[in-house]
């Protein structure tokens, strides 16, 4: 089968090099033809990273002029993602676009609707969609094995150094913006995007160090369920407390931490009469061998029409809208 000719636009995103490694891991699927980084600061910082070894660095004009180019991995700095993605869609390329979309909802919506009109694949870089532990928990809920879902609790926090929090400060609501989108995605996969109300609670814990909303909570309300999204950049052992908990009338599943490696526990009502004891059981799930490997393979399958992207353009628009609302930003 003919290989998919792909290039990368931008190296400023923190996941950019690892994405490139994933595409290059499958030379029978992808023909990686070059990289472009218009920002000289990012170019100087990251051009010599191992993931880009041996690849030509091109101007944007040179990249778009590559004969037979089919797809572009958009890995620009977060603030530049929407503009870079739109430029690719306008030229008819399929794109893998890292997350999150920009803070201007209408700009993100525009590029997604254009991609939908042109029938171009847009795969967003939500890597937890491919995490086996999270997939197990979400599938339990979606298959009805937990009964009626009434609560989902999600958390993704870290104790970031000052320099990282200064970078987050460049966004209107850094911590929720960068991490909350992952958690809202998990909630949407179970309960869908048609929530009744979303309320953000945004706080500053260490404004004397960085003027950043570094401690944030969003409450998402559905007709029969409430969900919480909590993110912080100042939580000691925050990585260890990253979690997904889904509660239903017939059972509860918990993933904690979310990776590195994750631990999954379940409790089913049929096996556990009402008690004040902790009755959860550990479940063994497959370990992820490459954080972005399955994502890269799926991207090729979507382009070739071998699989349908379950996260279509309308889904991604709804997810971005919720993310911005959780940040207290306008979406009209």
**pLDDT tens track, the chain, 332 positions:** 899 999 999 999 999 999 999 999 999 999 999 999 999 999 999 999 999 999 999 999 999 999 999 999 999 999 999 999 999 999 999 999 999 999 999 999 999 999 999 999 999 999 999 999 999 999 999 999 999 999 999 999 999 999 999 989 888 888 999 999 999 999 999 999 999 999 999 999 999 999 999 999 999 999 999 999 999 999 999 999 999 999 999 999 999 999 989 999 999 998 877 777 788 999 999 988 889 999 999 999 999 999 999 999 999 999 999 999 999 999 98
pLDDT at 277: 79
Per the CB < 8 A criterion, the answer to whether 220 and 213 are in contact is: no
Instruction: With beta carbons less than 8 A apart as the criterion, state whether 150 and 249 touch.
Output: yes
Beta bridge partner(s), residue 198: 220
The residues with which 155 forms a beta bridge, in sequence order, are 230, 243
Closest to 181 in 3D by CA, of 134, 129, 255, 130: 129
pLDDT in the model for residue 142: 97
Architecture per CATH, domain 4-127+292-326, reads as: 3-Layer(aba) Sandwich (3.40)
Report which DSSP code applies to 307.
Answer: S
Quote the Cα angle for 44-49-51, to 5°: 135
DSSP string over 171-217: STTHHIIIIIHHHHHHHHHHH-S--SEEEEEEE-S-TTT--S--EEE
Indicate the CATH number for domain 132-283.
3.30.360.10
- Alpha carbon distance 225, 149 (integer Å): 7
3-state class (DSSP) for residue 148: coil
CA dist., res. 9 & res. 13, Å (int): 10
**Where do the domains of the chain lie?**
4-127+292-326, 132-283
CA distances from 201 to 121, 168, 213, 326 (A): 34, 17, 10, 8
Spell 204-236 as b/e; 16+ CB within 10 A means b: ebeeeebebbbbbbbebebeebebbbbbbbbbe
The span from the first CA to the last CA of the chain, in angstroms, equals 45
Global pTM value: 0.96
The phi and psi torsions of 302 (rounded to 5 degrees) equal -65, -45
Q: What is the dihedral of CA 252, 256, 258, 259, to 10 degrees?
A: -130
**CA-to-CA dists, residue 94 to 106, 134, 150, angstroms:** 20, 27, 38
pLDDT, position 57: 98
| Distance of alpha carbon 188 from alpha carbon 314, whole angstroms | 12
Dihedral over Cα of 124, 247, 180, 188: its sign: positive
Tally Cβ neighbours within 10 Å of residue 163. Answer: 8
Other beta carbons less than 10 A from residue 141's beta carbon: 21
Under a CB-based contact definition with an 8 Å cutoff, are residues 6 and 73 in contact? yes
CA–CA distance, 295 with 23 (Å, rounded to integer): 9
């Amino acid at each position: 089968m003919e290989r998919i000719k792909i290039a990368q636009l931008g190296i400023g995103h923190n996941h950019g090099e690892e994405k490139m490694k994933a595409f290059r891991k499958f030379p029978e699927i992808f023909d990686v033809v070059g990289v472009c980084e218009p920002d000289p600061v990012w170019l100087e910082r990251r051009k010599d990273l191992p993931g880009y070894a041996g690849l030509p660095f091109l101007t944007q004009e040179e990249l778009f002029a590559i004969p037979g180019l089919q797809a572009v991995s958009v890995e620009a700095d977060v603030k530049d993602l929407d503009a870079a993605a739109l430029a690719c869609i306008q030229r008819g390329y399929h794109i893998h676009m890292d997350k999150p979309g920009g803070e201007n909802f209408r700009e993100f919506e525009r590029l997604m609707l254009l991609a939908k009109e042109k029938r171009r694949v847009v795969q967003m870089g939500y890597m937890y969609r491919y995490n086996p532990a999270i997939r197990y928990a979400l599938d339990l809920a979606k298959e009805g094995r937990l009964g009626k879902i009434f609560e989902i609790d999600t958390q993704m926090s870290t104790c970031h150094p000052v320099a990282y929090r200064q970078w987050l400060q460049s966004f209107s609501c850094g911590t929720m913006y960068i991490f909350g989108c992952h958690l809202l995605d998990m909630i949407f996969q179970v309960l869908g995007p048609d929530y009744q109300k979303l309320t953000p609670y945004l706080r500053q814990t260490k404004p004397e160090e960085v003027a950043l909303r570094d401690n944030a909570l969003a409450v998402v309300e559905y007709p029969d369920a409430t969900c919480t999204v909590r993110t912080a950049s100042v939580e000691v052992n925050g990585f260890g407390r990253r979690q997904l908990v889904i509660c239903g009338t017939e059972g509860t599943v918990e993933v904690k931490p979310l990776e590195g490696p994750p631990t999954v526990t379940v409790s089913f009502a049929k096996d556990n009469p009402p008690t004040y004891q902790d009755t959860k059981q550990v479940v063994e799930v497959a370990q992820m061998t490459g954080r972005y490997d399955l994502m890269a393979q799926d991207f090729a399958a979507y382009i070739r029409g071998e699989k349908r992207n379950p996260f279509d353009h309308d889904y991604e628009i709804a997810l971005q809208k919720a993310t911005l609302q959780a940040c207290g930003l306008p979406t009209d």
